[in-house]
Amino acid sequence: MRPAVALLLAASLALSACGAHVEDTAGPATTTVPRCGEQVAYRPPHRAVAYEGGSADKLFALGLTDRVRGYVMPPANPPVTESPWAAEYARVDMLSDDLLNRELVVDAGADLVVAGWRSGFSDERGITPALLDRLGIQSFMHAETCWNYPGFPRRTTPLEGLYEDMTRLGAIFGVPDRAAAVVAGMKRRVAAVEASAPTGGTPPPVFLYDSGTDRPATAANQVPPNDIIRIAGGRNILSDVDGRWTDVGWETVVQRRPEVIMVLDYGDRSAQQKIAFLRSHPALRSVPAVQRNRFFVLDYNEGISGPRNIDGLERFAAYMTDVPR
């Protein structure tokens, strides 16, 4: 076999292993992977733009810093200096502290935008994968956000979506072996948590408090905290709600009697301010988590799709070992 043919065959086999294939075209090779439920052919990116920490962390964890043009980080997000990849953030440009928009990615000369559906991309903001396709700018969507993507929905559990994202990004950027190693490390850590999680009895109900005073914003079953709570041995009190981030009435929280309240740490109010509010809320006086002072703080970037989900899982699992079943 000629060396050139052998090299192409080896590359093709490596990509096939992660659900992608390379097409021989007149221009640069393209790699086809799913974007939600749609098969999309990607050219190798060199000027990627990431929206929020989860997107940037995925790229940095794969060693792709040199191919990241920059990131967009709304002000409610924790400082990037607190990230395990702080040194990588320092090597690329912060393009905006606002929401994602079309003008920004065009001005940046982006050749790939990494974000989620309704978590960066949205019709209301005027930046969607379909619009970027027409502009010749590629887009990648987090699998976790695909459950209601118009025209091409696809459902996956949030952590399985994280594994898929890392694998697909590895295929798109031509680093499938690196991605496989990263995913294998994540899976080993999750398996270790599963092996040590409490069994028997009834899983303690857990309420995630995001924000809100009149009605609390919280996590339904299509976001990473639902998996974090479940794998660590608890039960999200909104696991029966088919959705991502949602809101409920305080009466629902009271009726479902959470034993633990997980507080998402981001925004204008600190986690301790949120906890103080919950402790003082008259309607919550009968809630076991409030009576027993069981509050767990989850970092924002541990709660949105990204490599730090595993950090949050390990920390919450350690906390749950002291919660009776």
The two structure tokens encoding residue 291: 């009576």
Where do we find the tokens 């400082």?
A: 79
Strands 30-35 and 38-42, by their bridges, are antiparallel
The pLDDT tens digits for 148-158 are 999 999 999 99
State the distance between the two ends of the chain, measured CA to CA, in whole angstroms.
62
How many CB atoms lie under 10 A from the CB of residue 27? Answer: 6
Handedness of CA 22, 24, 29, 33 (dihedral sign): negative
Alpha-carbon distance of 15 to 174, in angstroms, equals 8
CATH 3.20.20.140 fits 200-320, yes or no: no
Q: What does the pLDDT read at residue 28?
A: 57
Cα separation, 75 vs 200, whole angstroms? 42
CA distance 215 to 212: 6
Instruction: Yes or no: say if 162 and 226 are a contact pair by the CB < 8 Å rule.
Output: no
Q: Provide the CATH number for the domain formed by 12-189 in this structure.
A: 3.40.50.1980
- Over residues 268-321, the pLDDT tens digits come to 899 999 999 999 999 999 999 999 999 999 999 999 999 999 999 999 999 999
Q: What is the pTM of this model?
A: 0.89
Domain boundaries, the chain: 12-189, 200-320
pLDDT digits (tens, 9 = 90+) for 12-63: 333 333 444 444 333 459 999 999 999 999 999 999 999 999 999 999 999 9
